[in-house]
């Protein structure tokens, strides 16, 4: 073998080793799953058509009043939107996906009913979007660190976010959703990042 062939083989081996190490780093990276469900609720104001955000944990819906998340971890946020109707946002930029990886979400549009199971369809049925038409938004999941996830009616969205440092953040919905807008744990709350 000549010297040039040996150098080519060494470069190829270095590239393969780098790819292997990158693959191991990727498979060993931590991911935390946060599943939110927007489901009907009676907020005590005589209205039974109100919806609220809940955290889905071990098959049970729990309060979203204070959501606890890890720092320096990729967080997969999956939101099941059971509200069948749009609620146009009261903030102009609510239609834009912000603060997620590459400022986009995976959208499964018009796949849920009010009583549908909270199961993600085949990933191939979703599409990546960076914006949702403001007249086709039911809710938003907006965090005070600049994250905004617009959610169309009867849809599922998946986004990926990371908090780089511990702290307390507020979350809320930028749509006019009636009385539940004013109830902590229904349409607003806090996120504690540890």
Q: How many CB atoms lie within 10 A of CB 35?
A: 17
Kindly report the pTM of this predicted structure.
0.81
The residues with which 35 forms a beta bridge, in sequence order, are: 78
**What is the Cα 188 distance to its own chain's centre?**
15
The residues with which 57 forms a beta bridge, in sequence order, are: 60
What are the residue ranges spanned by the domains of the chain? Answer: 31-193
Main-chain dihedrals φ then ψ at residue 21, nearest 5 degrees? -65, -45
pLDDT of residue 20: 46
Give per-residue burial for 55-85: e unless 16+ CB within 10 Å, then b.
bbeeeebeebeebebeeeeebebbbbbbbee
Q: Mean pLDDT, 10 residues at a time, over the chain (194 residues)?
A: 61 53 48 94 60 93 95 96 88 92 95 80 86 94 96 96 95 85 89 96
pLDDT of residue 22: 41
Enter the tokens of residue 194.
């540890």
Q: How far apart are CA 57 and CA 139, in angstroms?
A: 21
Main-chain dihedrals φ then ψ at residue 3, nearest 5 degrees? -60, -40
Q: How many CA atoms lie within 13 A of 3 on its CB side?
A: 0
Q: How many CB atoms lie within 10 A of CB 108?
A: 21
Nearest CA-CA partner of 174 in 93, 72, 97, 99: 93
- Assigned CATH topology for domain 31-193: Immunoglobulin-like (2.60.40)
The residues with which 38 forms a beta bridge, in sequence order, are: 53, 81
């Amino acid at each position: 073998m000549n010297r040039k062939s040996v150098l080519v083989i060494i470069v190829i081996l270095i590239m393969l080793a780098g790819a292997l190490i990158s693959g191991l780093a990727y498979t060993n990276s931590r991911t935390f799953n946060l599943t939110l469900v927007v489901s009907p609720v009676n907020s005590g104001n005589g209205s039974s058509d109100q919806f609220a955000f809940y955290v889905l944990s071990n098959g049970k819906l729990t309060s979203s009043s204070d959501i606890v998340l890890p720092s320096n971890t990729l967080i997969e946020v999956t939101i099941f939107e059971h509200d069948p109707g749009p609620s146009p946002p009261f903030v102009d930029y609510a239609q834009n996906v912000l603060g997620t990886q590459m400022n986009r979400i995976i959208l499964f549009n018009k796949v849920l009913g009010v009583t549908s199971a909270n199961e993600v369809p085949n990933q191939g049925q979703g599409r990546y979007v960076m914006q949702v038409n403001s007249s086709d938004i039911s809710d938003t999941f907006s965090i005070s660190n600049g994250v905004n996830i617009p959610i169309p009616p009867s849809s599922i969205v998946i986004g990926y976010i990371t908090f780089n440092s511990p702290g307390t953040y507020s979350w809320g919905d930028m749509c006019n959703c009636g009385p539940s807008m004013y109830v902590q744990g229904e349409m607003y709350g806090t996120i504690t990042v540890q």
